[in-house]
Every structure is written in structure tokens, then in C-alpha cells.
Amino acid sequence: MATIRKRKNKSGDTWQAIVRRNGYRPMSATFDVKEDAEKWARAQEREMDRGAFIPSDAASRMTVRKACEKYAAEILPSKRGAGPDISRLDRLMTALGNLSLAALEPSHVAEYRDGRLKEVGGQSVKHELNLLQRVLKACILDWGIHLPRGIVTEQVRKPQPPPSSKRSRRYEGDEEERLLKAAKTSRSKTAEQIIRFAIQTGMRRGEIASMAWPDVNLVEGTLHIPETKTDSPRTIPLTDEAVIILKEQRRQTGLRPDKKVWGVRADSISKMFSRLCEKAGIENLRLHDNRHETASRLAEAGFSPFEISAVTGQKSWETIKRYTHVRPTSLRDKVSAAIKKK
């Protein structure tokens, strides 16, 4: 059985896992979390029991490209919203793919980070480095590959977007009317309904794309969302307009064989939204901003954070604050009434 040791360091406690088996060289690895150390040790022992253990020199034989391809084939398909990770893996393979896992050093990752920061924002680069970190963790925890330098991404400072970079975009002036007009005159039969529905519900694009009729209750005016980004299924109330939109959609398309409400992919919804914004002459507006708009309208109407969370699925108060941007003018009457002398 593996030995798990707690090690005290100036930077904080770590956990060392040591695996000793007859016929194999002793192996060890260090982790920040005890559960990761235990999982790694079990993975090594399981592979040894199966006779499929990959020796430590596998890190020298496997390149970053092969590791990324293995991750894409075996692990990524089980992840929801994995579409953006495909292009991120391509970028990582182009820049670092020829390096072996044993040769990959923090300096390589730092060089990649600095080069990408000249092209894209810090949050995009952080997503890419986090993905590389997940690939390296899979090498250790799932495939039993010993990385002599450990998870090198943990030894590199990741970019943090400045507070000012957090979006607070909402519809201004007649932008909503112009966008819906552009959608109504487009070739898409569902563009207008999808945009209206997104504003009414504040749902994520993946949640909208995966909507199925068995989860819709038009009588009670509710929608069950079984799979969410936070892995917490929720049932949301549908506004009167949202119910009307769904009835229109059901009347126009009927029941599809797959029972999907819209019959479009998540990325197609984003592309459609971008094209319509360009057609309507609207700049710097994204599909995801509809979640900001919905949460902000609920806050302006006096909804509590708990009630907003029940609708949008945002778990923490900090997240709700980030998604909620109340216009000062909407507070004017409330502030005046609150501080008015009695």
C-alpha cells in the first residue's frame, strides 16, 4: 500500500505519495492536496495490478502533442462546453507539441504565456494554461506517467485580468429593438425567438441549445435544466413572453425526432448573434451579455440575490454581483425615498 506523507514547507504544506511494489522501481510525487496524492498513488497501483503500468521514462517518450491528443480523445468528450478547448489544444500543440513531457520546463510555459499576451487578453491566456495543467494532471492521475518536473504550470505565474476588464455591457438606447428587427428580417427562422428567449431567461448558450421539450412545462410555466455549467440542475420560472415564444416555436417546428426545442448548436447561436449585431450596427455586444441584462433587470425590479440565483443559476453572491449592473437612474426614486426626512 502506498505511503502518504505530509511535508511542511515555507510556502505551505504538501503531500508526498510513495509507491513501492516488487518488480518496480519506487516512485514518488508531491501534491498540494492530500486527495490528489492518494488518487495518484491508486492510479499507479491500479496500473501495476493490471500489468499496464507505464514506466517513468514514458515522460521522455511522450510529447506534449501526444498528451494533448490523448486528452482530446479520452477525457475531453466527457466535458460539457468542450468546444473552445479544441482550439486551445491546437494552439498548445503548435507551440509546445514537439517537446517531450520530461523536457517541458516552466520556462517554456512562461515563454508561451508572454507570447500569447501580445496577441490576446490575460483571461484567454489563463484558460489556455489551465487546460495545459489539466492535461498534465491527467498524465499523472489517469495514465500513470511520472513527470520528473511535476506539473510545471503550477510553477508559472498565471495572468490575472485587471478588475476593469470585467464586462458590464448592457443594451443601450434602441439596441435591443434594432437587434430584434435584424433578427426578424434574417434568413434564420429561429433567430428572433432565441434572442428574445435568452433575454427573458438569462440562460447560458449551452443550456439554450440543449433544451428539450420533455423538460418544458407550458402549463405551469417552468423549464427544467438537467445539465448546467455548475453541475447543479435547476428549474426556472418562464415569463409570460417566454411561454409565448415557446408556443410559437412548437407551432412552427413541431416535435423534432431528437425532441430538441431549437435544433441548433451552441456555437451556431453565438455566430448568429454576432452576425445580427453587425447587421444592426451594434458594437461590442456578445450573446453572453444577455445574462448580464437579465440579472440586472431582476435586480432593478427588487429581486433578492437568492431569487436571481434561482433564475440564472449563479451560485455565489460575488458572481451575482459581477453579472448584475444596476443603472443608477433605476435607483434614483428608491434612494430619494429612503433618505427623505420624515
Distance CA 291, CA 207 (A): 12
Q: Domain coordinates of the chain in residue numbers?
A: 3-164, 175-336
* Nearest residue to 310 (alpha-carbon basis) of 233, 198, 216: 233
CA angle 149, 42, 6 (to 5 degrees): 60
Percentage of the residues of the chain whose pLDDT score is greater than 90:
44
Residue 330 has pLDDT above 90, yes or no: no
The x, y and z cell numbers of residue 21, run together, are 511494489
What is the model's pLDDT at position 338?
Answer: 59
Average pLDDT in the 292-298 region? Answer: 89
Query: What is the torsional sign of CA 133, 135, 139, 141?
Result: positive
DSSP 8-state secondary structure symbol assigned to residue 57: T
Distance CA 116, CA 91 (A): 10
Residue 47 has pLDDT above 80, yes or no: no
Q: What is the DSSP string of 114-163?
A: HHHHTTS-HHHHHHHHHHHHHHHHHHHHTT----TT--GGGGSPPP---G
What is the model's pLDDT at position 54?
Answer: 52
Distance CA 244, CA 270 (A): 23
Residue 329 has pLDDT above 70, yes or no: no
Distance CA 242, CA 307 (A): 18
Residue 286: partners with Cβ closer than 8 Å, 6 or more residues away: 167, 169, 270, 273, 274
Distance CA 157, CA 125 (A): 11
Strand order in the sheet with 234-237: 216-217, 222-225, 234-237
pTM check: above 0.85: no
Residue 51 has pLDDT above 70, yes or no: no
Architecture of the structural domain at 3-164: Orthogonal Bundle (1.10)
Cell 420533455 sits on residue: 214
Q: CA–CA distance from 184 to each of 80, 174, 196 (Å)?
A: 31, 15, 11
- Whether 150 and 133 have beta carbons less than 8 Å apart is answered as no
pLDDT tens, residue by residue, 31-42: 888 888 888 788
What SS3 class is residue 7? Answer: strand
* Nearest residue to 84 (alpha-carbon basis) of 211, 267, 263: 267
Kindly report the average pLDDT of the chain as a whole number. 85
Architecture of the structural domain at 175-336: Orthogonal Bundle (1.10)
Residue 154: partners with Cβ closer than 8 Å, 6 or more residues away: 32, 133
